[in-house]
Structure 1
Amino acid sequence: MMDTSSRRQAIRDWDVQDTDESSVYALSRAWGLDPVWVRVLLGRGIDKRSYERDITSPAPPGDDSLGEMAEPRAWFHDLLSSGEPVLVYADLDVDGLSSAAILSRFFRLRHHSHAVLLANREDGRSLLPSRIRPFQKKGFRRIIVCDMGTSSADVLRMLLGEGMSCLVVDHHLVPEEWPRHSVPLVHPSGRSALTSAGAAYTLIRPYLSSEEEPQMAFLAGLSVLGDRAPLIRENRYLTLSLLSEETLAVFPGIRLLLRRRVRRAPIVSDYSFGVIPFLNAPGRMGDPSPSFDLLMSSSAGESEKTVAVLLEMNRRRQELEWLLYEEIRRKGPEEFVFFDKDWFPGVLGRVAHRVSEEWNRTVFVGTMTASFTIRGSIRCRNGDRFSDIMAALSGLPITGGGHPMAGGLEFPADLLPEVSRRLSRLINTSPLNPEGGTMEGGDERDPLRIDAFLPAYFRNPIFWEGYRKLFPFGEGFSRPLFGVRRARIERLEEGNGKMQACAYRWRHGSGRAFFREGEAILSPGQDYDLVVTPEIRGKGDYLERLFVVADYRPA
């Protein structure tokens, strides 16, 4: 991508990228995109090469998407050649489950003896020797650890001493003390933003038939959405594999979950809302095995029973999550460390994510374990990084691991005041809006940051066709932001669910946009500058096109 950081300019209180209009129209013809979308892409530093590589024609991940692969490939080749039984030990979330399903399907198709062991909620997302012992007694001497091995270096050393041969497939932060010369590691290592399932897919890809490859890419695509990984390059390739109806038919359980929501061809957001929460629910409630069974099932009849279990577990998860979310919101954004010994551990991560996103600040949400330690989830926002938090807590008897923006911590209960004190010195508490404004009217002198101004023809199919070509948006390829100058609010209307609508009039006619209830205070009859983002949402058996207010200020 090109460096365009110095080319942003303020145009009458709007912070918008300055683009070369001659390039805009030339690329519009070459890419078959409306000029307004070309301005969005150029403003983000996307040129001819990165447009194809990152957005429209992403390639599947290869070894260049991972760190050093010579030792992992030698280990895996030796496993297949020897025919030794192997234990796949995976985490309980969608990434871990997808990793396990990818490897289990691979071994099953090759009649290679294997067993799958899934972490449960009480394990704390770390390797437990006590759960591995029964498989050692059965003669297993090989183990592949998925989506949680990098936080368990001591356990891996112990297993090596007991004659086990270990391979770790992970994407979490790698500690300095990692046993690099004794445990092969399949890891992005800064070369890509692959998930653990994406890394597992890359490991086995050279062995896959043309029929198997889309199925494994499909499973890895689920993990991209489950982990909210960046939707560019390799991850985009994996995510787009979810749109194949032919591949979906191989996963009758996933198809059943989707058919509860829509009958039409699914879009990516249908998976985000109609599949991922249900796959995560059993693990959050304690035992993730129903979700794994659903990913492995080849029978619609068998899947129906499992889907019913997932629906009930997700209902219970939602109730617990909502109660905890409301309790923390009542405490207010002045705090950033939230703890109660009676909170249910399975929803801490979800609640931490929702609260940090709403307040745009880093938060830690924890509870007490049966061993009287505090275990919880931290979500980073507003410029904070998990690696910096771990550095600030260095020297304390704390275990943890995670991504750059999220992670888990466990420490003795009496350390809570010291952990809070150290975090208070590090966490950025500036009340910034994620899109650059304040969503409260803010300082009228601050320019509103946008990609481009909304064109007068925003209802035209040409505009929405451009959106569909670039969709999906998400982490790493954020939703486009358009400016609407001097919109006079005519009335506020009831929206759908938790969204409220406002009807406005501007120089190009009338418009309508949505915002979350309680997020904005707009007064009918007043003029506002709006920042809106387009969305296509699955609504039953048809797709709804709408705009959502991302920021605003009085005009």
Structure 2
Amino acid sequence: MAVTILENRGIVSKEAIADWLNPSEDSIYSPFLFSDMQKAVDRIHQAIDSQELITVYGDYDADGITSTTILVETLEVMGANVNYHIPNRFTEGYGPNQASYQNLIDQGTQLFITVDNGVSGKETVEFLNDQNIDIIITDHHNLPQELPNALAIIHPRLNEQSYPFDDLAGVGVSFKLCCALLDETAYELLDLVAVGTIADMVSVTGENHALLKFGIDALKNTQRLGLRQLLSEAGANLADLDETSIGFVISPRLNSLGRLANADKAVELLLSDNPKICESLAKEIEKVNVDRKELVVNTTKEALTLAKSSQYQNQKTLIIYQEHWHEGILGIVANKIVEETQKPAILLTKSQNGVLKGSGRSVQGFDLFAALTPIKSELVSFGGHNMACGLSVKETYLTNLIQKFEESFSLKSEDNEQLFDCCLTPDELTLDKLEEISVFGPFGTDFETPLFKIDLPNISFARKIGQTQDHLKFTMINSKGMQVAGIGFNYPHVDLNLFKEKGILYGELSKNEWQGKVTPQLMLKYLDFEKERIIDCRHYQFQQIMTVQGVYGFFNESKRQVFKEKLQLNDSQTQLLRPNKGLPQTLIVMDQPLNNQQLEAIFSQSTVEQVYFYSQIKNLNLAQIPNQNVFREVLKYFYQHNNLKTTDLTQVASFFNLSIYELNLILRVFLELNFVKIDRVLIKPVENVQSKELTSSRLLQQTQKQLQFVNQINAMSSLDLKRHILQYLD
């Protein structure tokens, strides 16, 4: 499994595997491979020596917050005269804002250093150059066609530089500047480098892998009082931190300030060593995060109602505008709308200046950035990448935007790659297996958490959970009879009865912590009913099975004809199941097979893709075979009533408290053993009959085997039934 997981992610050679599992300091590149790094370091040293006021100009997301913190901290250690500025999302927006820069200049700033922004601020840089104010840009966002004329630009994607890795986060670039200034690898800063890198969802491969490996270890031992207090308020355990808890615990709390309030308080928290200040700020951030969650829930509910309305029913894309929505959470909500509708979505609200602002999220195969780039000149502002964007647009252009966006939609076909890493059984879903897997991490962008295929999961229990009943909680039973938990988010339309019959699940192995107890659980990621070959429908009502699209198959020709005539079906809708006769892609088995030979003869030569096993039309109308005493009494009755007719059998069956099917079996056995004969319609005893054992009857032997087989099939669990049939399918 270990080799498979790494090979699936392009790590193949022994050397590459060793480097991945045990990165060294050599895995962290020299900061002076950036072409402008020496120029930036020299200018900063000059500013420190002359005590010029340096302003670190950051950004309001977790990457920008951590980028600002580590650079300010480094400059303070070096004795610099430094302050920082985090722009307000609502009044200043993302990136360089001339008014803000002028205000900072008025307060004495003589050198600006941007972190996690700046490369698109050509006009602002010209504005600063006109005032003889130097600016050093550190950024990682997409490069514009024309770079700003800054004193130095430190960016991993600049042309004509030898830096070997191009997907550092903003905090990664800021860290490189810190290392260059300190002339050493600043391991003490890697705790925040890990937070910002994971929060910004950049690639976790290449140099980022080493930064995260070292950074997560540093985070578990961090002495940052503010960070420890933030985790305490969130109820998180420092020792258990990993990429998942960073992404779902730390990052959202830092981001919440930028979304709803002012993010400079997050920088203050991370820089502070005052216990009272840290406690107060951490509590404030926790409250803002709670407010953010509530706002997301309410806005998502409203947006989803609109997205599913008739107005958008025939739309391939969604652009939804509501004046009262909060700008700060539209990206989160857009992502939820995409998950639910599987349509690219842009959500907009009205800003204070009357311009519509919002965020977009996309689906796999549709490049959001490329779709909007042709109309970029019509937008007030626009930026992003293939899966996400932010934009501003005048309200008068909204109708055109909706039309152009809809016209741009086309899905790029993706390679038919194997969906999962490898197969696991419920027995292998253990904490030991999870520990084994975690060694290969951290996981994230370009190095995804391993996805496992669970064949025949034996789901014993499933129910919907959550306020809106959109999520699944289920239990699997392993071969030892022990329960293994599973959970799946955003499956509102899954039928629980059909889900419990699932023969295939795709998910990630995770751990569930509840009341101090840690257990393994499967995090359901994907359901693929089309790939499930056997679907147990024995519990279906007849009306339910008739809704399934496929060909109705019968082992018994007379039962097929009755079914076909009763429902007025044509020949192509039903099929007699016989060996060497091709089967449809989707087969619905309607009547009971009577032996394994029937199953093998049909399915072993078949290319059938899906079998719905209903099998409720009986071909053997017996619950049991009467015992020998009943056979003896019936035979005596036949001998005592010489003129008994076949038309009298119903009365005879009633006399012996037998079903007509049981009496017919008895009569057929007597005929085979030559105990009686039928002369026209009369049942007559055979004279001089030879004594024979009932068990010598081939009919009785065959019927006993058929009954045993039918009872065996009926008693099988769904898991056992699927295994039984799958052994015959190629």
Q: TM-score range by the shorter chain?
A: 0.7 to 0.9
Equivalent in 67, 72, 87 of residue 104 of structure 1: 72
**SS of alignment partner, residue 378 of structure 1:** strand
**SS of alignment partner, residue 57 of structure 2:** strand
Does the alignment pair 1:231 with 2:204?
A: yes
| Alpha-carbon RMSD | 3.1
> In the aligned structure 2, how far is the partner of 1:294 from the partner of 1:176?
37
- Inter-CA distance 206–373: structure 2 relative to 1 (3 Å threshold): same
Does the alignment pair 1:343 with 2:325?
A: yes
Does the alignment pair 1:319 with 2:288?
A: no
> In the aligned structure 1, how far is the partner of 2:370 from the partner of 2:195?
29
Equivalent in 28, 36, 41 of residue 76 of structure 1: 41
> In the aligned structure 2, how far is the partner of 1:202 from the partner of 1:328?
41
- Inter-CA distance 397–157: structure 2 relative to 1 (3 Å threshold): farther
Does the alignment pair 1:286 with 2:261?
A: yes
Kept in 1: contact 2:471–2:492 (CA 8 A): no
Q: Which residue of 2 aligns with 1:39?
A: 4
> For residues 505-520 of structure 1, what are the structure 2 equivalents within 5 Å?
505=477, 511-516=484-489, 518=492, 520=494
Q: Which residue of 1 aligns with 2:118?
A: 149
- Inter-CA distance 183–373: structure 2 relative to 1 (3 Å threshold): farther
- Inter-CA distance 221–264: structure 2 relative to 1 (3 Å threshold): closer
- Inter-CA distance 426–531: structure 2 relative to 1 (3 Å threshold): same
**SS of alignment partner, residue 417 of structure 1:** helix
> In the aligned structure 1, how far is the partner of 2:322 from the partner of 2:239?
44
> In the aligned structure 1, how far is the partner of 2:67 from the partner of 2:506?
39
> For residues 62-461 of structure 1, what are the structure 2 equivalents within 5 Å?
69-83=34-48, 84-122=52-90, 123-179=92-148, 181-189=149-157, 191-208=165-182, 213-244=186-217, 248-260=221-233, 261-263=235-237, 265-268=239-242, 269-332=244-307, 334=315, 335-428=317-410, 449-455=419-425, 457-459=427-429
1:452-494 CA distance string (max 9 Å, x none): 1115751456523321212332222112122222334322157
**SS of alignment partner, residue 457 of structure 2:** strand
Kept in 1: contact 2:257–2:288 (CA 8 A): yes
> In the aligned structure 2, how far is the partner of 1:393 from the partner of 1:429?
19
Kept in 1: contact 2:68–2:115 (CA 8 A): yes
Does the alignment pair 1:534 with 2:509?
A: yes
- Inter-CA distance 402–144: structure 2 relative to 1 (3 Å threshold): farther
Q: Which residue of 2 aligns with 1:485?
A: 455
- Inter-CA distance 88–404: structure 2 relative to 1 (3 Å threshold): farther
Q: Which residue of 2 aligns with 1:50?
A: 16
Kept in 2: contact 1:248–1:254 (CA 8 A): no
> In the aligned structure 2, how far is the partner of 1:454 from the partner of 1:357?
27
> In the aligned structure 2, how far is the partner of 1:342 from the partner of 1:406?
22
What is the percentage of aligned positions where both structures have the same residue?
Answer: 19
Quote the offset at 1:226 in angstroms: 1.6
> In the aligned structure 2, how far is the partner of 1:257 from the partner of 1:245?
16
> In the aligned structure 2, how far is the partner of 1:60 from the partner of 1:419?
49
1:196-251 CA distance string (max 9 Å, x none): 111010122133377x8223211111111221222223223333344336874421
> In the aligned structure 2, how far is the partner of 1:127 from the partner of 1:194?
21
- Inter-CA distance 238–532: structure 2 relative to 1 (3 Å threshold): same
- Inter-CA distance 131–264: structure 2 relative to 1 (3 Å threshold): closer
Quote the offset at 1:527 in angstroms: 4.3
1:248-291 CA distance string (max 9 Å, x none): 44211211222342346122122222221111111111311221
Quote the offset at 1:159 in angstroms: 1.6
TM-score (norm 2): 0.63
- Inter-CA distance 484–240: structure 2 relative to 1 (3 Å threshold): same
> In the aligned structure 2, how far is the partner of 1:182 from the partner of 1:321?
39
- Inter-CA distance 477–289: structure 2 relative to 1 (3 Å threshold): same
Q: Which residue of 1 aligns with 2:689?
A: none
Q: Which of structures 1 and 2 has the larger relative contact order (alpha carbons within 8 angstroms, sep 6+)?
A: 1
- Inter-CA distance 58–371: structure 2 relative to 1 (3 Å threshold): farther
> In the aligned structure 2, how far is the partner of 1:54 from the partner of 1:272?
22
**SS of alignment partner, residue 522 of structure 2:** strand
> In the aligned structure 2, how far is the partner of 1:186 from the partner of 1:99?
13
> For residues 16-27 of structure 1, what are the structure 2 equivalents within 5 Å?
none
> In the aligned structure 2, how far is the partner of 1:395 from the partner of 1:138?
35
Moved more, 487-496 or 37-46: 487-496
Quote the offset at 1:386 in angstroms: 4.5
Q: How many residue pairs were aligned?
A: 505
> In the aligned structure 2, how far is the partner of 1:404 from the partner of 1:429?
12
Amino acid at match of 2:303: I
Kept in 1: contact 2:201–2:445 (CA 8 A): yes
- Inter-CA distance 114–194: structure 2 relative to 1 (3 Å threshold): same
Q: Which has the larger radius of gyration?
A: 2
Q: Which residue of 2 aligns with 1:6?
A: none
Quote the offset at 1:50 in angstroms: 3.5
**SS of alignment partner, residue 365 of structure 1:** strand
- Inter-CA distance 52–169: structure 2 relative to 1 (3 Å threshold): farther
> In the aligned structure 2, how far is the partner of 1:43 from the partner of 1:240?
20
Kept in 1: contact 2:429–2:521 (CA 8 A): no
Kept in 2: contact 1:262–1:540 (CA 8 A): no
Kept in 1: contact 2:47–2:111 (CA 8 A): no
Kept in 2: contact 1:454–1:482 (CA 8 A): yes
Structure 1, unaligned stretches of length 5 or more?
A: 1-35, 437-445
1:316-356 CA distance string (max 9 Å, x none): 11121111111111123644212112211111122123323
Amino acid at match of 1:362: P
Q: Which residue of 2 aligns with 1:470?
A: 440
**SS of alignment partner, residue 501 of structure 1:** strand
